[in-house]
Structure 1
Amino acid sequence: MTTSTGRQDVSAVLKARIDRLPVATSTHKRWMVLLAFFFLFDTLDAAMLGYTAPALRAEWGLSLSAIGALSSITFAGMMIGAVLGGRLADRVGRRRIILGSVVFYSVFSVAAACSPNVGFLGVSRILTGVGLQAMTGVLLVFVSEMYPKHLRGRYQAILLGLGCIGIPVVSGISSLLIPLGHGMWRWVFVIGSLGAIGALLGLRILPESVRWQADNGRGAEAELLIAKLEQEARDKTGTELPQPVVAAPVAPGELRDLFTRRYLGRLVVLSVCMICFILINYGFNGWVATLLVERGIEQKSALRIAFVISVASVPGSFLAYPVIDRLERRVVGAGSMVAVAIFLVVFAVARDTTLLVVSGFLLTAFSYVALSVLYTYAPEIFPTNLRGLGAGVGNGIGRVAGLAQGFIVAGIYGAFGFTPVFGYMAACALIFAVALGFFGRKTSNRSLEEV
């Protein structure tokens, strides 16, 4: 019979063998293509309402406050999905939650496309948010657990960079489809349901997390997968692998441990950063087209400007690639958010279209550098059996801010006008920079067990 201590020792060795891999194998790369395809639908959906909002206003006669409410209630589903998905992933495994969530959000994205009124659309958006955030949080956990410690930051950046193609995709599709006529906004939501195609492929190629298997009595399955990855690494490098460096086993924790002194500070820093990022990202991308129209720019031109700005999310994510594993993550994230604050102020006061586009492009690029850091950092700071929940709670608390952001933007714009909206976002960026830069933990090039 295997004792608890013996199982912990085996688990520690299996985890160390993942971290000793000197390269990402061909299997790792196949996983990344699939994971990025899934993540693309998260970023696509995040921007979807912002680009369809002008058409919804025109077709259904909605006020700015109604658009704000519709934007905000979507975050209720995201909050539930982030926490529930993370907890279930710790209980039943990462793979089941990723694939099940993809099917769930796809169904309700189709429902949104068929909405007869704003109430039905609101309910559909809430349930879409549940599935999307359950999936997204667990995707980040999967990458942190299945890629070597010296590569996981770079592969999180790749995941975000490839996934962020969804932002210019939805912007481009919206600018092409919506002007074609009445009801064409519905096809944007239909496109948001196509992630279900990847779920079929995932049934064949996506395994369960080795770290989760190792900690849940499935070491034999984990051993087979690790052995395959090790052989691929030997074939690729032509050399024998280095000896695994086994970290001291981490005792399994319980739910209440997440709120003890050891992890509570980490959770607070993560939550503050998530709140600030959500307020900036959804406040900017979700409202920029609408606010430009309200400022007097013709709808077609506003959508075109929003599209050009949205493209920056892709190079911005890849901009993190060369530095995220070489420099300390908290430094990269804090510095990026200082740049975001500067360019938000420039955007707020710009009157020239070129300056609007350039400043919007740069603030978007640097915000996605920061998001690459945050998405890498979130699952690193919690132990395996609390990783999904810890990252999910931090993400979920951030989504609570999303409930308010629509009302905040509408309220500030209604009371003070265009410029103060972006000044408030700049203040959020500086709070993020201080929280992560001064109070975040060092995680770069450390095994998850060391953090």
Structure 2
Amino acid sequence: MTAPPPGRQPSLVSRPVLFWSGVALTCAGVGQHVWMFVDSASMGFHMAMMGMSGVMWAAMAAIVVGVVVSGFAVTHTADEPAAPPGARTDTPPAHRRRLIGVLSFALLVDQMKPATLAFIQPGMRAEFQLSAAEISWLPTVALSGTVLGSLVGGRSADRIGRRATILIASLLFLGTTVCGAMPTYGGILTMCALMGMAAGGMLPVVYALMTESLPPGRRAAIMVLQAGLTTTGGYMAAAGLAAVLVPLTGWRVLWFAQLPLVLILIAMNRWIPESAAFTAQRARPGHVPASALFRRPQTARTLVVGGYALAWGLVYWGFITFLPSQLEASAEGGMSAATLLFLSSLLSIPTCVVAAWLYMRWSAKGTMVVYAALTVVALLVLAAVGPDGGRVVLLTAVILLFAGTAGVIALIGPYTAEIFPPAIRGTAGGWAAAVGKSGGAFGPPLIALVLSAPGGLRTAALLVAVPMAVAGVAVALRGDDPSPAGLASAGTAGPDEAVPATRSG
């Protein structure tokens, strides 16, 4: 196989006609759903219980066939032989800024999906006449999809490639935009589960590709900033679309409004190269199984990042989910849910900038310990004063809590990608993302149970502070430091160390 000349990217797929034919077929099916949504304007864009017509079933079939065809064309690329020794496989400097921009856009689209759930629930509940218990299935199903998607997507990145996995997630994004035209609540739950799988599958893969495409040095700071700012940007973009479009055409339009963004992402696929690390790893005989995460020398790393992610999930999906309602119920708090959401978004920006600077200039694991400690301190303050504490104290505690959790989520993805070797980097990123998202499955019911017991908010704050404190201590004692200074002091070879492969066949 001849290496491409400098300045020119290799073809994304070996069967481009098949790939774009599948995309066109998927777009045709999605377009038919968009037309049905537009046609429902006379009914106030209410499509509940309209039933699945023959045309809608045919459009759904076109989407499924289109995604499968395009997905086959993408995965077939991974069967091509790896570049021979000596061939140029690094990312040319002129392409790095473009790659950062494209992958940041991919993360922005990825983060908009779960953020949109908060803005569609009121309209959906009214249209389908759902109870509070019934509507609670929406985030549960969607987040469960992200857990499965993270595990599958992370493993897929190590088997078929980072680039192929990102494209498959984008194809699923394209197909599941028809969630906005589903006439039944069951259909919406199904689409949200698939959409969650796509969102969960893309997140860890982007960090793996960034780690392997950018040179050491400023790479860590770029990735931390990218993680934090795209999370904030995704929420703000979803909020902005909701503010403008929902009053005009209802909640369903929020899914279709993201269709152009997904198409742009797919169109930019030519600027997403495969990583040199994956290409080199694929040239070796056999493969490294997922179980390598729990074998030496990876066991401690896996448990440390898993515990850190789980602690964040319990705080974010469990405790913070109920915090607005708890404070609004207090006469002293005086803070609305809107105020808290605004603070969480606003404070993510300076928090991520500081986290990136500390991560690059000081210590990676030290920065993670600092933000874990900041979160614990905020929770302990809330546990001490409760919802009836003074307004200034409560506001300060909430600011610290949002700052700490924003830093934790900005750090965990890039940190995981940097400390694991290329052979299982995607699998490890998927593991960390899945464990963090799993907090959305059991965190809310657990915290709801605690809030109904004596102590309420105080007990809940203390409960989630414990695992976060344990996670911070684990990082301090057993965590790796991927910064050059940390690796030098530890006397290690860094995250590109070899992992024994299991010979297949």
Is contact 1:106-1:195 (8 Å) kept?
no
Deviation at 1:144, TM superposition (A): 1.0
5 Å matches for 1:344-383? 344-346=379-381, 349-351=386-388, 356-383=394-421
Matched, 1:120 2:155: no
Task: Kindly provide the CA deviation profile for residues 232-271 of structure 1, in whole angstroms up to 9, marking residues without a partner as x.
Answer: xxxxxxxxxxxxxxxxxx9974444333222122211121
- Taking structure 1 as reference, are residues 418 and 111 closer, same or farther at Cα in structure 2, changes over 3 Å only? farther
Structure 1 match to 2:28: none
Indicate yes or no: 2:351 matched with 1:316: yes
Of the two structures, which has the highest relative contact order with CA contacts closer than 8 Å and spacing of 6 or more? 1
Deviation at 1:106, TM superposition (A): 3.7
- Which residue is 1:103 aligned to? 171
Q: Deviations over 1:158-215 (max 9, x none)?
A: 211331211233334445555x38x723333334545413323422211111111222
Question: Which segment drifts farther, 87-96 or 394-403?
Answer: 394-403
The secondary structure found in structure 2 opposite 1:321 is helix
Match for residue 153 of structure 1? 220
- Residue in 2 aligned with 1:433? 472
Counterpart of 1:442 in structure 2 is 481
Tell me how far 1:134 sits from its aligned partner. Answer: 0.9
Residue 491 of structure 2 corresponds to none
Asked if 2 retains the 8 angstrom alpha-carbon contact of 1:97 and 1:134, the reply is yes
Secondary structure of the residue aligned to 2:297 is helix
Please list, as runs of the form range in 1=range in 2, the aligned pairs for 1:4-403 lying within 5 A after superposition. Answer: 10=85, 25-57=93-125, 59-108=127-176, 110-164=177-231, 165-175=233-243, 178=246, 180=247, 184-217=250-283, 253-284=288-319, 286-289=321-324, 301-346=336-381, 349-351=386-388, 356-403=394-441
1:311-348 deviations in whole A, cap 9, x for unaligned?
22233222212111222211111111111122234456
**Greater Cα offset, 391-400 or 332-341:** 391-400
- 1:262 is paired with a residue whose SS is coil
Q: Which residue of 2 aligns with 1:247?
A: none
- For 2:470, the aligned partner's letter is I
**AA partner of residue 263 (structure 2):** I
Which residue in the other structure is 2:45 paired with?
none
Deviations 1:22-55 (A, max 9, x none): xx93421111111111111333333332344455
Aligned-residue offset at 1:399: 2.9
Question: Which 5+ residue runs of structure 1 have no aligned equivalent?
Answer: 2-6, 19-23, 219-249
TM-score by length of 2: 0.70
* CA-CA distance at 1:131 after TM superposition: 0.4
2:448 corresponds to:
410
Q: Is the 8 A contact 2:155 2:290 kept in 1?
A: no
Task: Report the counterpart of residue 27 of structure 2 in structure 1.
Answer: none
Shift of 1:276: 1.3
The alpha-carbon distance between structure 1 residues 34 and 9, as it changes in their structure 2 partners (threshold 3 A), is closer
Which deviates the most, 26-35 or 185-194? 185-194
Residues 151/190 of structure 1: CA separation in 2 closer, same or farther (3 Å cut): same
What is the CA RMSD across the aligned residues, in angstroms?
A: 3.6
Match in the other structure for 1:237: none
The 3-state SS of whatever aligns with 1:208 is coil
Structure 1 residues 336 and 276 mapped into 2: Cα distance closer, same or farther (>3 Å)? same
What fraction of aligned residue pairs are identical, expressed as a percent? 23
Distance 1:339 1:125 in 2: 34
Q: Which stretch shows the higher mean deviation, 359-368 or 55-64?
A: 55-64
SS at match of 2:357: coil
Contact 1:54–1:290 (CA under 8 A) maintained in structure 2: no
- Three-state SS of the structure 2 residue aligned to 1:320 is helix
| C-alpha contact (below 8 Å) 2:111/2:199 kept by paired residues | no
> TM-score if structure 1 supplies the norm length?
0.78
Contact 1:34-1:202 at 8 Å conserved across structures: yes
